C-alpha cells in the first residue's frame, strides 16, 4: 500500500524519514495532488543502476537490429590476433 502524506507532514520530518527507511517510497502531496517522492538513497542508487543497465541493453538491441556490431569469426580472430 503506498505511503501518501501531505507535504505539511515534513514539519515532523523524522517520522517521514523513518517511513523512507522501510524501503518504500513516501509520496508527498500538495493541495491534494501528488508532488514529490522521497526514497532512501540506497533505493535511489539501485534504481539508477537498473536504468543504466536497461539503457545499455537497449543500445545493444539497436546495434543488433542495424547489424553494425556483428563480426564474422575470421574478423573476430583477426581483431584478437589469433
Alpha-carbon gap, residue 20 to 15, rounded angstroms: 9
Quick one: fold of 3-40?
A: YefM-like fold (3.40.1620)
pLDDT per residue as tens digits for the range 52-61: 999 999 988 8
pLDDT at position 66 over 90: no
Domain regions of the chain by residue span: 3-40
pLDDT per residue as tens digits for the range 17-60: 887 777 789 999 999 999 999 998 988 999 999 999 999 999 88
Amino acid at each position: 500500500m503506498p505511503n501518501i502524506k501531505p507535504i505539511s507532514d515534513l514539519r515532523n520530518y523524522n517520522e517521514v524519514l523513518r517511513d523512507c527507511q522501510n524501503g518504500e517510497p513516501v509520496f508527498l502531496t500538495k493541495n491534494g495532488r501528488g508532488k514529490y517522492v522521497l526514497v532512501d538513497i540506497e533505493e535511489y542508487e539501485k534504481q539508477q543502476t537498473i536504468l543504466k543497465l536497461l539503457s545499455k541493453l537497449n543500445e545493444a538491441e539497436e546495434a543488433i537490429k542495424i547489424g553494425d556490431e556483428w563480426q564474422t569469426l575470421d574478423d573476430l580472430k583477426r581483431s584478437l590476433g589469433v
